[in-house]
Each structure stands twice: as structure tokens, then as C-alpha cells.
Amino acid sequence: MITVGLIGAGYIGPIHLGALARLGGVRVKTVIDVNGELAQKAAAAYNVPNSGMDHREVINDPEIDVIHNCTPNKYHYQITKEALEGGKQVLSEKPLAMDLKEAEELVELAEKKRAITGIDFCYRYYPVVQEMAVRVRRGDAGAVRMVSGSYFQDWLSRETDWTWRLLRSESGESNITADLGSHWFDLIQFVTGLKVEEVIGDLATLIPVRRRPTRQVLAFEKVEEVESEEVKVELEDYSSVLFRLSNGAPGSFTTSQVCAGRKSDTEFQIYGSDCSYAWNHKEATVLWIGHREKANEILIENPTLQDPSTAAYASLPAGHPLGYHDAVMNLFKDYYEAVEGGGKGGELRPTFQTGFEEMKILEAILASHKKRSWVEVKV
């Protein structure tokens, strides 16, 4: 039995707990959060026996094998570093750290400790996204000519909407590009097998002044009347990026959290010389396949029609759609296969190296925005 300690009981922590509860051979012993009430509530909801407020409680616990770091960005580096130094395996939320230097240090430390690492780029674990990756990588699309897409939300579309991600001290140098952008670029690189090599970014703060609640507000929490204070926003809520892939193919990506009516609208398209592929989170079970000489196709998530390597992720019969919780669980299944195998298995999982590569893209986008010119992504 693999024993887990989870740190961070806000929005994403309980999602981790729900996925972990469905895995065999894994048990969560303790939930930690600086807000003790949140930790107790999450622990009770998922039948976890212990809760606490100090992250060192789980890092120093010899019974705990794996740490899930579900804290805000500013805590990722320190907590993950302490966990690795304490001999733990670590699965972290993204981004891996606040900046590239911290991310590189964590990758090097994980390698030194021979730790089995993971990072929660869960969107790649929808079954038809896995299927798209298999088809594109084996050449079904032909040569990748261009990619494009977007990621729109509306939960920050009002001046009274607030999140810690808008503060540089909490989030680092980026809000939405680090958050939603990292998910999207992971999808592109995973599906195509290509790297983003050059970028030019245009970032903007569309709501420059907001009302910040004086009490803690969780991500996506519906807030009615609450005492608040006026705050100047430090980070972007809009980002648009042009980029070049390692085969020379151009791409474009736009994201914003102020788009009324868009809840979690993630989509991307891969245009090849022979056919095209597209996926949208709103219809997460559907893979669109575009053709020139014949009718277009729609593949609906189906283990009997998918490649054998992706069918395992479509764990229900056709017509029984999987969702976000299942994508997270699919990632965790691969991660814990690797933990159980001492590093063998779960090869498709995103690791700390994956998070490091995403931090390189982010750094290049931020630099290009400041310079108003193209910037190469560090090798």
C-alpha cells in the first residue's frame, strides 16, 4: 500500500483526493492546509484519518511515501524541495515553480534523489486526446503544418472577481499564461511530439483595478456580498502568443479569463499535410478528423475503436462519457504505476522535466512581451 500526504485543500486538493480514492493500492493518510478548517473538511469528505496545518507534518512522517503538492504557486518550490530532500516522491500542481531557476533546481534535485515525479497536466489524459497523440505521432496527419487554439474562461470577467493568481507575490510573473497557457502548450507538445522553439507574446490586463475580498475566497467560488478593498492588478488576464515548433510549423494561441459565457473552453487544432485533428474541452469525448478528399470524421470516445495503447484510458463502454475527474485519475494511475514499479511504467505521465520545459516557454513569452520581439525558448 502506497501512503500519501496531501498539502493544500483549496479547489484542486479535493479533486486530487477524489481521484486518489478511486485508485487501488493507494491510501491518503493526512491532509494539510494552513487553513485548518479546510483541511478538516477535505479529510472528512474523503475519509482521510488525519488533518493538520503544518506541511512538515507529512514530510517528516516515515509512513508517507508520496506528497501531493496542491498549494498556490509561491509554495511549490519550498514544499517540493523539502519533500524531495526528505526522500519523498512528489506529484505537484503546475506550474512547477515561480521561475525557471527554481524549476531547474527542483529537476536537478529530483534526479539526484532518483525521485519519481509528476505534474498535473491532466488534459492530455482525456482518452481521445491520447488517441490524437498516437495518430499524429505515427504520421496519420502527415507533416504537421500549423497548430492553433485558445483557452477562454469567464470567472474573472467582473471587477469584483478575485483570485490570488492576480498577485505577483503569490503567482510569480504571470497569471494566465503560467496557468492556462501551461496546460495548452503541454497539449500541443504532447500530441505532436514537437517542441515550441520560438515565441512572441502579447499580454494585457483587461481589468486593471479589482475589488479584493477581505476574507479567503477559493477558486471558482460564487461570492455574493462580501467586504472588499480596491486593488491594482499586477498580472495579465489576457495573453496571445505566436510561436514556431521544432519542425518550423507556425502556431497561435490566445487565452483570457474575462470572456463572458466561456467557462472552461479549451480547444486546439493540428493541421497536417494529409488530414487535421481538433479537440474541444466542451465536447471532451469527441475527436474531430478533417479530410480534403472525403467526408470528415467524428470519433467518439470508444475503447473498441481506439488504438490499444489509448483504449485503457477509455475505461467505460462507448456512450458512457468520461470527464475531468477521470482525466485526473488517468494521470494518477500512470503516476502510481511508476511509483509501484520503482520508476518503470507510466511513461506517458508528465514529470518535473515536463514542468521545466513549460517554464522555459513561459520565460520566453514574458521576455518577448517586454522586448516586443521574437524570443527563442531555451534548450
For residue range 262-287, list pLDDT tens digits in order.
Answer: 999 999 999 999 999 999 999 999 99
Last residue of a domain, one of 85, 115, 145: 115
Q: What span, in angstroms and rounded, lies between the C-alpha atoms of 250 and 316?
A: 37
Query: Does residue 283 share a domain with residue 181?
Result: yes
Concatenated DSSP letters of 239-305: EEEEEEETTS-EEEEEEES--TT-SSEEEEEEEESS-EEEEEGGGTTEEEEE-SSS--EEEE--TTT
- Residue 377 forms part of a structural domain: no
How many of the other CB atoms lie within 10 Å of CB of 146? 14
Q: Which of 67, 85, 115 is the last residue of a domain?
A: 115
Q: Which CATH number goes with the domain that contains 50?
A: 3.40.50.720
Tens of pLDDT along 85-100?
999 999 999 999 999 9
Residue range 57-71: average pLDDT? 98
Q: Do both 7 and 147 map to the same domain?
A: no
Condensed to tens digits (0 to 9), the pLDDT of residues 65-88 reads 999 999 999 999 999 999 999 999
What is residue 224's predicted lDDT score, i.e. its pLDDT? 63
**Cα–Cα distance for residue pair 45/316, rounded to 1 Å:** 25
Number of domains observed in the structure of the chain: 2
Residues 39 and 129 in one domain: no
Whether residues 78 and 159 share a domain: the answer is no
Q: Report the pLDDT averaged over residues 52-75.
A: 98
Q: Which residues span the domain enclosing 107?
A: 2-115
Instruction: Report the amino acid identity of residue 304.
Output: T
According to the model, what pLDDT value does residue 69 have? 98
Give tens-digit pLDDT for 13-37.
999 999 999 999 999 999 999 999 9
pLDDT in tens, 138-182: 999 999 999 999 999 999 999 999 999 999 999 999 999 999 999
181 within some domain: yes
> Residue 136: pLDDT above 80?
yes
Shared-domain flag, residues 107 and 163: no
- Do 239 and 98 belong together in one domain? no
- In this structure, the answer to whether residues 128 and 31 fall within a common structural domain is no
The C-alpha cell that represents 311 in the structure block:
483504449
Same domain, 87 and 149: no
Q: Pick from 55, 3, 48: which is nearest to 25 by CA?
A: 3
Which residues are within 8 A (CB) of 111 and not within 5 positions of it... i.e. 6 or more apart?
none
Backbone angles phi, psi at 346, to 5 degrees: 60, 40
- In this structure, which amino acid lies at residue 55? H
| CA 5 to mean position of chain CA atoms | 20
pLDDT tens, residue by residue, 190-235: 999 999 999 999 999 999 999 998 776 666 666 666 788 999 999 9
CB 359 within 8 A of CB 103: yes
Answer whether residue 157 is part of any domain.
yes
214 exposed, middle or buried (CB, 10 Å; 0-12, 13-18, 19+)? exposed
Beta-strand relationship, 66-69 and 2-7: parallel
Q: Where residue 216 sits, what CATH number does that domain have?
A: 3.30.360.10
pLDDT at 227: 81
* C-alpha dihedral sign at 195, 197, 200, 202: positive
379 in a domain, yes or no? no
Contact 88, 96 (CB under 8 A): no
In a domain, 322, yes or no: yes
Please give the average per-residue pLDDT across 255-261, as a whole number.
98
pLDDT tens string 96-119: 999 999 999 999 999 999 999 999
One domain, residues 10 and 56: yes
Query: Residue 241: what pLDDT?
Result: 98
pLDDT band at residue 364 under the 50/70/90 scheme: very high
Write down which residue in 67, 89, 115 finishes a domain: 115
pTM of this structure: 0.94
| One domain, residues 104 and 141 | no
